Every structure is written in structure tokens, then in C-alpha cells.
Amino acid sequence: MKVLIVGAGIAGLSMARLLEKQENIDYTIIEKKSSMSTLGAGIALPFNALRALKKIGVFDAVMTQAHQVKEILYTKSNGKVLGQADLTHAPFENDHFVALQRTELQNILSEGLVDKIHFSTELSAVNNHSEGVSVKSSNAQISGDYDLVIAADGINSTLRAQQYTEKTTLYNHNLTGWRFIVKAPNHQLQPTYMLGNTDMFMAYPLSKDELYCYAHIHQENKSHTLTGDAKIDIKNIFSGYAEPAKSIVEAIDEQKIITGELKSVTEARFYKDRIVFIGDAANACSPLLQQGAAAAFEDVIALTKALKDGKVNLEQYKKARQSRIDWIINFSDKPLATVKNMDKAMVRIIRNTVIRVLGPMNVFGWKKLATNPDLANKE
């Protein structure tokens, strides 16, 4: 079976690692960038990501680089606690929650594969049909016929857009977000989510001396006009926050900041004819449940099972993932519809009351994923 993997990010590399173990599959992986990307900040991996990494075969390598966390804390912007959750209790007593630099995860996944990646390579034409895919490429040796093309080309997937030209495949939530890593010697923090009005700030430990930070604000907020300068905007919005945000913002001048807009797929898409979608190309959504990498890992495991014995059973892949992915997208994105209205006191009171009753919303969602049989990956 000839397989073409488009994209050498987390999803594509994970897919390649599993296909390496399949004797009856000849895969090729292409990447439009000229080398392995170094763009990225941190990445948090919840329990199901670590479970999947055991099956992919890199769990031990990840754990040697990762920082394990044991508690989640939600606060108001003034530091007043809204909810806490212990990650060492049931149903997670045998699981791990970690974070590490994104480049470290990518290096682990790419070990032994870099020489097999065709860099600076893009597809110029794609003919997708029920029996296979014919492609033309900027790299002549890639052009030809494949039994399957795996789209691992991220949230702005070119292949997804090409295959669904009659539909809009991405939704913009009008949230401007920033990601960066800061030095914080001996910070002694657990992951902390600070909720303002239409803005929020997260500090997630990468080590005992580093924090991965994420922040966002709705573009139609009533308090701040964005300048487009990340450092100025972050200081303007978050300088009034309590610790730990206050000290982080004060020391932000030397940090490399990644700016972006929060987008989601309009619906999960698993395959069309012989092009199959994995990771963000299939199911990108809000980072509330930190399922970006986790979903990609689970995708590649399910897809590998659907390619056993030289068969291409993409309906099996879809059935294995549909209910779980649909729930993840809905749970992750539904709260974003209310962010614009968080300038209103009553809306914030409702949000805060829900968190006080249910606890941190990401932990509430993780428990659902861990215990609800209807959300399990189907074999």
C-alpha cells in the first residue's frame, strides 16, 4: 500500500511512527517548510495524550523531558480562587498530566524519521477518487499515484479546503491569543487559569523554572483596543491581574511571543474518498480540553487499525472517532459563544458559579472523557 503523509508536524510524525511498524505499507512524508519547524511555545498533554503515547512508543522519552503537574487551579483576575482539582485522584490515579516545550515533543516524534521527510515540498494538483489519489508535486519524485493520502497539514489544511470547496471549513472565534515561555526560577506553581471579563491568562509549568503562558481577549471587548503589538497589548490587558500573571507581564519584554486568532473546524471531517484527515486538519477546536495533540495521537492509532492487512477501511476510522471528537469539539467550543458577553456582570456571575459547583471546566471534561463509555474510542 502506497501512502502519502502531508505535513511533518505532531500528527504527521506520529502517523509515520506507526506506519514504520507496518510491513505492508510504503509511506512517504512531505513538509512544505524547508526544515523541522522550531516555531512553537509549550504544549500541555492530558491523561489521554499520555495513554496514546504509550501505544505510539514514545511515552518514556516524553516523560524524561516533561514536567508533571498534579493540580489545576481556576481563579478570577484578582487571584480569588474559583475552583481547584486534584489530578492524582480517581479517575486519574494511574495517569499523568504533563507539559513540555513543543520543540522537545517534535524532536522525540521525529527521531529516526528526519531523513525520510521531503522538505520544501508541496502538492500542486490532487485528483482524489474512490480507488486512490493522483498527485502532482513541486518535487517530481513525489508525483504519482497513492492508495491513500493522509492530510496532517494542520488547522489551515490546504487539502481540507481543496476537498470541500463548496463549504467553509473553519470558524474564527474573534479571539486574539498569545503564547510564550517565560523564565520563572523556582516558581512552585501548578497550572493556573485566571479569568477576567472577555480576557483570560494561563500559566502552565514546563519545569520548576519555566512557565508556558497563554492569554486571549475577545476582539470586540469594551475595555481594550488592540494595537497589534503583542507586548503592548499584553501589558495593557493583564497588568492589573494578580499573581502570577502580574510578575509574568512585567518581565515580558524579552520574550518571543506567538500571536494568532482562535479558530475551529466548522465540523469534524474524517475522510473524503481516499484522502483522510487527522489532527487539527480533522478536528481543530478551542484548547479548553488541551486535545490538540491528544486527538492527533488517538487519530493515528485509530487510522492504523483501519489500515490493517492491506485494507483501507476509512469508515472504520470515522466510526472509531466520530462520537468522541464531536463531543470534544462541542464541549471545547461551546463556552466561546459567551466570551463576548463576559463584560456583563450577570454573565460572569453565572460562569463563576458554574466553576464553583463543577470545578475547573477542563478537569470536568477530562473526567467525562475518562469515564463515559459513549465517548470511548470505538474499536
Residue 348 · residue 196 · CB < 8 Å: no
The half-sphere exposure of 222 on its side-chain side, counting CA atoms within 13 A, is: 9
Q: What is the reported pLDDT for 330? A: 97
As a whole number of angstroms, the distance between CA 201 and CA 371 comes to: 29
Residue whose C-alpha is closest to residue 153's, from 44, 282, 313, 289? 282
Give phi and psi for 191, each to the nearest 5. Answer: -55, 125
3 state SS of 85: strand
Q: Which residue has the cell 492524582?
A: 88
- In the DSSP assignment, the letter for residue 241 is S
Q: Give the ranges where the chain is alpha helix by DSSP (H).
A: 10-19, 47-56, 59-65, 102-110, 158-163, 230-238, 245-250, 280-283, 292-306, 314-333, 336-339, 345-358, 361-371
Strands 71-76 and 192-195: parallel
Give phi and psi for 72, each to the nearest 5. Answer: -120, 135
Q: Does the bond joining 244 to the residue before it have cis omega, within 30 degrees of 0? A: yes
pTM metric for this prediction: 0.96
Q: What is the reported pLDDT for 31? A: 96
Whether the CA torsion 154, 45, 264, 79 is positive or negative: it is negative
Domain annotation for the chain: domains and CATH numbers? 2-71+99-170+265-375 (3.50.50.60), 173-262 (3.30.9.30)
Q: What is the reported pLDDT for 23? A: 85
Whether the CA torsion 189, 195, 196, 201 is positive or negative: it is positive
Report the greatest alpha carbon distance in the chain. 61
Q: What is the reported pLDDT for 173? A: 96
Cell matching residue 324:
468522541
pLDDT tens-digit profile of 319-358?
Answer: 999 999 999 999 999 999 999 999 999 999 999 999 999 9
Q: What is the reported pLDDT for 29? A: 97
As a whole number of angstroms, the distance between CA 261 and CA 243 comes to: 25
Q: What is the reported pLDDT for 98? A: 98
Cell matching residue 32:
512544505
The half-sphere exposure of 15 on its side-chain side, counting CA atoms within 13 A, is: 35
As a whole number of angstroms, the distance between CA 76 and CA 218 comes to: 17
Q: What is the reported pLDDT for 38? A: 66
How many beta carbons lie within 10 A of that of residue 374, not counting itself? Answer: 9
- 125 class by beta-carbon count within 10 Å (0-12 exposed, 13-18 middle, 19+ buried): exposed
Q: Which residue has the cell 458559579?
A: 353
Q: What is the reported pLDDT for 44? A: 97
Task: Collect the ranges in the chain with pLDDT lower than 50.
Answer: none
